[in-house]
Structure 1
Amino acid sequence: MFDSVGWPEILVLALVGLFVLGPERLPEGAAWLGKAVRQVRDYATGAREQIRSEMGPEFDELQKPLNDLRNVRNFNPKTAVTKHLLDGENPLDDLTGNGSSSSGSNGNGSASASKPAASKPLEPGERPPYDEDAT
């Protein structure tokens, strides 16, 4: 319910309450607010239970799409791709060399040319190397 309310907002509300109500009436106001929130929560729980008792098992069927939407909020595309396409293997293992596959080779035993060689920088006027296989 209060997912977006953090400590700074609560502090600002407490300061505003202190200035509006004053230090004498602030505890009474906080107690009233606590009772009101508790009463609203009880009303919501009662309404949910009443709907559940009237609808029976259909209520759970209606809640399933809402639960699916909550799961979408926590969706991680990298995990989904890893799970569904790569059968749970980490796709970065091939790139970092942590996996059991023969990473770093292009099939004929030589190192892949995807990374440029860490050589000295080009001199002024020198042309960069041209790779015909990359074009």
Structure 2
Amino acid sequence: MFDSVGWGEIIVLIVAGLFILGPERLPSAASWLGRSIRQVKDYATGAREQLRGELGPEFDELRKPLEELRGLRNFNPRTAVQRTLFDDPPVKPNGHATGPNLTKSNGATATPPAAAAKESLAKNERPPIDPDAT
């Protein structure tokens, strides 16, 4: 809970509480805050246990997508775009890309250099036309 709050912020909050509440009411306010946080945690744990008891094994299936969403919390769009655009398939010593399924991280299929040369058209040859695309 206090992962994003550092010691400097905690000291500022204590000093602000000391000025606002005064030294005689600050200990009781801190104990009230501690009890309230503990009670909220107990409610959340009780609700989770109740859901787990009612749903059974389906509860774990429900949690899997939520765990994947938590993994997106550390998602960096810049590195994802760089990886998608600039990561090429590994090249073997013979100069060809590895594997018959040359799929980049974005799902696009990469064409090996030899296949790209085969696709070139002869002089005065008309390219194939897809009537559905026009």
Q: TM-score, normalised by structure 2?
A: 0.52
Ranges in structure 2 where 5+ consecutive residues have no aligned partner: 91-134
Number of residue pairs the alignment of both structures matches: 85
Q: Show CA shifts across 1:37-84 (max 9, x none).
A: 001100110011101111111111111011111122235758xx6xx9
- 1:86 offset after TM fit, Å? 6.5
| Matched residue SS, 1:9 | helix
1:37 equivalenced with 2:37 (yes/no): yes
1:122 alignment counterpart: none
2:47 alignment counterpart: 47
1:69 alignment counterpart: 69
Q: Which segments of structure 1 move beyond 4 Å, counting only runs of 4 or more?
A: 75-78, 84-87
Two-structure CA RMSD over aligned residues (Å)? 2.7
Give the partner amino acid of 2:43.
Y
Structure with the greater relative contact order (CA < 8 A, sep ≥ 6): 1 or 2? 2
| Matched residue SS, 2:5 | coil
Partners of 1:10 and 1:2 in 2: CA distance: 10
Ranges in structure 1 where 5+ consecutive residues have no aligned partner: 88-135
